[in-house]
Amino acid sequence: MESCKSVKPVIAIDGPSGAGKGSVSRAIAKALGCRYVDSGAMYRAIAWMALHEGFDLDDEAAVLALAERVELVLGDQSVTVGGHNVTSAIRTSEIDAASARVARIPAVRDVLVRRQRSYAGASGLVMEGRDIGTTVFPNADVKVYLDASPAERAVRRASDPAHGVGVAAAALSDVASALEARDYSDRTRSSSPLKIADDAVLVDTTGLPLDSVVKKVLGIVQQHFKRGCS
């Protein structure tokens, strides 16, 4: 992107759990000097706060009111909601399931999508999620959809310390079942379901090390701006 130094792109990276979105998105943002935002952390934070305050997640009006009023701050390495640092607390199987329920509430999605759009700015943006390229930034400069085989995604999630699990602590079959349930929830919700955008580039990360995936995605970004600046 040498000839596009003045361009501050919006890059959307979508995909299901365990596809590698987080690690890849952080690496891409660092390489390009852009801001990195994990949109899923926002849903997790709202879910955590709702449970912390004793809300019934089926009470959509109450969860919406919470999403509208609560202060939510995404730092480079931290997540704070309502003054609570929940960086680690939101990476549990309980919050994963709760956030899927929160994400199925259309009005809550509307609130968080508005917040997500506010992150686009002068420094450029790499945002990961499940509806970034389809709903949050339908006109993103670059859209990438990361995927991997169900088996590999389960292994990654089970061995990911960020989610508070480990192969010894969580049977792969249980993790795989949880991922299957999350996929179903994400793909069948009425508002902004998980799907690949028509103009996104699909990258299958199965069997690939992180640096290889990052190289592929950077190549996609660079090719896009090479065409735009030629």
Asked if residue 69 has pLDDT above 90, the reply is yes
Q: How far is CA 127 from CA 34, 57, 66, in A?
A: 10, 26, 23
The H or E element that residue 143 is part of is: strand 142-147
Which pTM value belongs to this model?
Answer: 0.90
105: three-class secondary structure by DSSP? coil
pLDDT, tens only, 80-105: 999 999 999 999 989 999 999 999 99
CA–CA separation, 221 and 10 (whole Å): 10
The predicted structure's pLDDT at residue 123: 82
Residue 170 has pLDDT above 60, yes or no: no
**CATH number given to 9-222:** 3.40.50.300
Q: What percent of the chain has pLDDT over 70?
A: 91
Q: Which pLDDT score is estimated for 159?
A: 81
pLDDT at 228: 60
Q: Domain locations in the chain?
A: 9-222
96-153, pLDDT tens digit by residue? 999 999 999 999 999 999 999 999 987 899 999 999 999 999 999 999 999 999 999 9
Indicate left, alpha or beta for 149 from its phi (over 0: left) and psi (-120 to 50: alpha).
Answer: beta
